């Protein structure tokens, strides 16, 4: 095992692959696409990785159409937010922030809604699926800080308290059996439906967000995909952009991804240890 400066240890079996990645990426401006696997070392579970919880996520259509569904969603989301918001950036997040600071990485496109890249110090981050720390009214467009909404929900739902050993889901909610007593938040401006500013299943990525992500890809010479299975359309579309420009693509992910056949190099491993190793060796 080889120690790294951030305290992570790289499995010696990965050394040849990491060195090959360095040779592919050296001297190039790198855009990084990250998925849930980057945040597992921060205690946030993956959607599709080994051991991922079996779940039926809320769809945008269901959220709009069903008041009981909204109560159930907000009850679970409120409990999950306490744990989700306390997660801390891990060594992989910090390594990417340092690579950006040194001018090696030109920006990060993340499919995660946890905000950990920004908290780690990365500055140019496109949260293509939104962020859990913002809430928007679907009627008038007013936005609110999630912390303020959480405080109001706690006052209006004193019966709702997080049990010990709560099972956090990847998008920051938990499963709540008794949710019909829930007073779901509404907009204080117009009384409209509030929704976290994240892309639900069945909802389209905002055009302006995808344009920002595409601009990062076009401003780069290479791509690193970290912790994403590329099962979501937004990720595979960005990989398509990189492939059309014949950019080297390095994928770091535990298990197969939909982009493996188009990768210049695939490293089947955890993201933190590999990103730390790349951060030490790229300049």
What residues act catalytically? 129
Pick the closest to residue 63 from 76, 44, 54, 53 (CA basis): 76
Task: Quickly count: other Cβ atoms within 10 Å of residue 28's Cβ.
Answer: 16
Pick the closest to residue 160 from 130, 133, 181 (CA basis): 181
Pick the closest to residue 73 from 164, 173, 146 (CA basis): 173
3-state helix, strand, coil split of the chain in percent (to 5) is 40, 20, 45
CB 264 within 8 A of CB 80: no
Q: Using CA atoms, how far apart are residues 215 and 221, in angstroms rounded to an integer?
A: 12
The region, left, alpha or beta by phi > 0 then psi within -120 to 50, assigned to residue 51 is: left
Secondary structure (3-state) at 180: coil
Q: Using CA atoms, how far apart are residues 110 and 129, in angstroms rounded to an integer?
A: 8
Cβ-proximal residues to 123 (8 Å cutoff; 6+ apart), any chain: 100
Task: Quickly count: other Cβ atoms within 10 Å of residue 199's Cβ.
Answer: 21
């Amino acid at each position: 095992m080889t120690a790294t400066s951030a305290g992570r240890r790289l499995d010696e079996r990965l050394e040849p692959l990491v060195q090959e990645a360095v040779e592919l990426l050296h001297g190039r401006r790198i855009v990084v696409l990250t998925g849930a696997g980057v945040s597992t070392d921060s205690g946030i579970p993956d959607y599709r990785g080994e051991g991922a919880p079996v779940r039926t996520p809320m769809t945008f259509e269901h959220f709009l159409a069903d008041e009981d569904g909204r109560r159930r969603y907000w009850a679970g989301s409120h409990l999950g937010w306490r744990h989700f918001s306390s997660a801390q950036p891990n060594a992989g997040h910090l390594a990417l922030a340092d690579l950006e600071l040194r001018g090696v990485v030109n920006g990060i496109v993340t499919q995660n809604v946890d905000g950990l890249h920004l908290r780690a110090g990365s500055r140019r981050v496109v949260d293509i699926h939104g962020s859990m720390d913002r809430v928007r009214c679907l009627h008038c467009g007013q936005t609110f800080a999630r912390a303020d909404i959480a405080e109001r929900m706690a006052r209006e739902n004193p019966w709702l308290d997080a049990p010990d050993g709560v099972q956090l889901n990847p998008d920051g909610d938990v499963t709540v059996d008794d949710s019909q007593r829930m007073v779901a938040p509404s907009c204080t401006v117009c009384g409209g439906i509030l929704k976290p500013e994240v892309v639900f299943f069945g909802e389209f990525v905002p055009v302006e967000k995808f344009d920002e992500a595409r601009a990062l890809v076009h401003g780069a010479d290479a791509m690193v995909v970290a912790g994403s299975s590329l099962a979501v359309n937004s990720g595979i579309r960005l990989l398509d952009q990189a492939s059309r420009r014949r950019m080297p693509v390095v994928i770091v992910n535990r298990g197969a991804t939909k982009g493996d056949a188009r990768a210049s190099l695939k490293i089947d491993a955890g993201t933190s240890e590999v990103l730390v190793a790349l951060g030490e060796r790229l300049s």
